[in-house]
Structure formats: structure tokens, C-alpha cells
């Protein structure tokens, strides 16, 4: 439908999973995309997508926790495709432990990526949009975990609650410049990371491998875990002019798990 024709999107944490699925959707809607992740070279799935869209897609290695790396990412993005119109701010890590066993190293790593990294990328992209005098759309990836606490997942839940709060504050700050900032809060999504998550739950809850994954899928009102592509429609909508009067919102895309 070319809803994103002539727009340039930057996507972090896009080496696979949700980020890559959204990149595919943006390309299908006519956008040019700069995708970023930690791997020195484009992961195989990204390289395959680049082969299909050589004029519209590039991969840049970036560490979102490092301000200099983020500046280099933005410079590389704009050299190739010009000013940014869209940010899909997706890079994140997950870990968990019982509250009284959780150490400072785990806290630091989760907050460095999920909060500091999210903020650094968002701040620099918003600055570039404002300086260029362009309207734009920033989409921060939160989580249903940011809507409520969980006993084993305290740091991750708190980090995603911070994403929702920063989204609201940034939206109010940038509204006078015609720049919208929204979030998406996925529920349980079947990505490669869920192997790690399932193993942690098995360890701390005494479950068999795969048992937690099956249980959380069945607990979703729609009866299944989400797929990365289930996030694409919301990501396209919030990036497009169809959502021109929407800002400071975090949209739940979770099969009905959270009602707000």
C-alpha cells in the first residue's frame, strides 16, 4: 500500500525476531531501512533480506549503550538514506532471578540496554528530527512486563515500565515540533530468546523444559503466543500518517493478556 513510501526508518535490535519482522513490513510499505544490531556483520536473515532489497536496506553494527556508537549509527543511516522519519527502538535484553538473589550486575546490564540504550537512541534521533525541521514517529518497544511486576522478573519489569514512562515524557516534549512518540507493549512472543527464558523459568520454578512456554501460550486469551509478525501491523500503523493524531500512547499487542 506504500504507506511508508519515501520514508527512512531506523530499527535497533533488528538482527532477528520482532525487529527483523518489522523491517520486512516497513520495506513492504515502501520505506528505506537501516537496521542495527550488535553482530559485526549482518546476520544471515538480515543478509537474505538485503539481497532482496539491495537499494532499500542496510545493516550497521551498533552498541546502543555507547553514545559514540549511536552517533556513528545515525551518521551511517543518514549518509545512505537521508534524514530519519521513523525510529523502531527495539534493542533489549532479558534476565531473571528471585528478588533476593538478583545481583547488581544483572540490574546494570538490563538497565544499560533496556533503559539507557533506549534513551540514547531516542534522544539522538529526536534531536536529528528536530534539527532537520521534520515531523517523525518514534516507536519504543515496551512489554506487558512494564504494566505489572513479576516476582522473578523484577529488573526487566522495571526497565520496561521505564520505557513506557520515557515514551510519555518524550511525546510531550516533542509534540510542539510535530514529532510523535508512542510505544508498543508486546505480550509473550515466540522468538529465539524464549529458549533462554524457558530455561530460566524451568530452573527457578522446577519445571520441565518447554513447560513454561506451553503454559504462557495457553494463558493468552487468544490461545497462543504471539509471532514476531503479529507486531508488524501496529508498528506500520504507528509509523504511518494513519496515526497522525496519536502520541504518548503505549499500545498493547498481547492477545488480550493486559486490558488498559
Q: Nearest-CA neighbor of 10 among 44, 37, 48?
A: 37
Strands 250-253 and 179-186, by their bridges, are: parallel
Q: Nearest-CA neighbor of 75 among 86, 62, 65, 88?
A: 62
Gap between the Cα atoms of 4 and 87, Å rounded: 13
Gap between the Cα atoms of 125 and 119, Å rounded: 10
Task: Name, in order, each residue with C-beta under 8 angstroms of 185's C-beta and a sequence gap of 6 or more.
Answer: 142, 143, 144, 146, 147, 160, 164, 250, 251, 252, 253, 254, 258
Catalytic residue among 156, 166, 204, 245: 156
**Alpha helices in the chain, H assignment, sequence order:** 17-28, 44-52, 67-81, 104-111, 118-131, 154-174, 193-205, 211-219, 232-239
Active-site annotation holds for 156: yes
Just list the catalytic residues.
156
Amino acid at each position: 500500500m506504500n504507506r511508508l513510501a519515501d520514508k527512512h526508518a531506523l530499527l535497533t535490535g533488528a538482527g532477528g525476531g520482532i525487529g527483523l519482522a518489522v523491517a520486512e513490513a516497513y520495506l513492504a510499505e515502501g520505506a528505506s531501512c537501516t537496521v542495527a544490531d550488535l553482530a559485526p556483520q549482518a546476520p544471515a536473515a538480515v543478509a537474505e533480506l538485503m539481497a532482496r532489497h539491495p537499494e532499500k536496506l542496510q545493516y550497521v553494527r551498533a552498541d546502543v549503550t555507547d553514545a559514540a556508537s549511536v552517533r556513528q549509527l545515525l551518521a551511517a543511516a543518514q549518509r545512505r538514506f537521508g534524514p530519519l522519519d521513523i525510529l523502531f527502538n527495539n534493542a533489549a535484553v532479558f534476565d531473571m532471578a528471585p528478588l533476593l538473589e538478583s545481583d547488581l550486575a544483572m540490574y546494570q546490564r538490563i538497565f544499560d540496554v533496556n533503559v539507557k540504550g533506549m534513551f540514547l537512541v531516542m534522544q539522538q534521533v529526536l534531536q536529528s528530527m528536530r534539527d532537520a525541521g521534520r515531523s517523525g514517529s518514534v516507536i519504543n518497544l515496551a512489554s506487558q512486563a512494564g504494566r505489572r511486576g513479576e516476582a522473578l522478573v523484577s529488573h526487566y519489569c522495571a526497565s520496561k515500565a521505564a520505557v513506557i514512562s520515557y515514551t510519555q515524557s518524550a511525546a510531550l516534549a516533542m509534540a510542539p515540533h510535530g514529532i510523535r512518540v508512542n510505544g508498543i507493549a508486546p505480550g509473550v512472543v515466540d522468538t529465539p530468546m524464549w529458549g533462554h527464558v524457558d530455561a530460566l523459568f524451568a530452573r527457578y520454578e522446577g519445571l520441565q523444559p518447554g513447560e513454561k512456554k506451553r503454559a504462557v501460550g495457553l494463558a493468552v486469551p487468544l490461545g497462543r503466543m504471539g509471532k514476531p509478525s503479529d507486531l508488524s501491523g501496529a508498528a506500520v500503523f504507528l509509523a504511518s500518517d494513519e496515526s497522525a493524531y496519536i502520541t504518548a500512547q503505549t499500545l498493547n499487542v498481547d492477545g488480550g493478556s493486559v486490558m488498559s
